[in-house]
Chains A and B, each alone.
Chain A
């Protein structure tokens, strides 16, 4: 029963996310509304952590397999790329690497400033 109730709460929030998505004309999916709703629910204690925690961790654990069908769908994409194939590959690969490095470095830089500031406070 424990998992059933947890799973019901999660699906219920998914449904609310879908309803919000239907009424707000923005390209924001139900999952993002749902994530924010769940976070607010937990924060306000409206949803106690232990009411969703186990089922959530299970869903998160099996999340990678949910991307397999989309990945296999790339089989049908090669044809439409045509002349764009080379730019497509270069843009996709290069930007992913550049963005990962830049984002990580900038975030880390600010964290180190935070930490330094705190050390100074202690002195």
Chain B
């Protein structure tokens, strides 16, 4: 099957988009955060690939083109951020405090769980950059001699999970200030979470986009400190 599919340049992109569309329809119908379009599209594509015995590389030869615009799209997060500049100035202290809390909490939690599970140093550092954007995290993991592929897997699952649970978590824990919601999502679930924050509102999205950059940069510093702790 892979051989035939190999010739189709649009196969991977089309099944990805159809999966996403299906997710949107299901979400509209059931209104549950579990029917998350991103999650559903990923599961649908995984199912199709397994069912027809198609290799991931064959799928990705076509699907990679939908990821091509990720860098430009991330750059565009500066636009909502610029439009919310007043908010950023007004609550800069809260934003700095929140971002540092996010970075330190990630690492403290990873440290604690690494001790509980008896992970070795290499396994421990693999998880330190798990909450931040993939490109920064890969660099950190590589430099600290972690398992880069596992870091990336953890980051993607973190993002998808954050995207799914963000609305519920904020409701349950009474996080209602749009700025706080945005910083919480961006710090815990990077760009994948940010797409959810943008759905919730312009302020949420702008702040979440900001947190991708700030928590990513903060993690570069803090990860090198936390790497010495275990």
Contact = CB atoms under 8 A, between A and B. Distances in A.
Interface secondary structure of B, over-half rule: helix
Interface in B122-168: 123, 127, 130-131, 133-136, 138-140, 142-143, 147, 149-150, 152-154, 156-162, 165-166
A118 B117 CA distance: 47
A107 B20 CA distance: 33
A4 interface: no
Interface residues of B, number: 110
Interface secondary structure of A, over-half rule: helix
How large, as a class, is the contact surface on chain A?
35 or more
Interface string A58-97: 0111111111111111111100110010111011111111
B84 to A, nearest CB: 11
Contact of B161 (A66, A93, A114): A93
Contacts of B67: 66-67, 69-70
A111 B91 contact: yes
A103 B211 CA distance: 11
B160 A71 contact: yes
A104 B216 contact: no
Interface of A: 10-11, 13-14, 17-18, 26-32, 34-39, 42-43, 49, 52-53, 55-57, 59-77, 80-81, 84, 86-88, 90-114
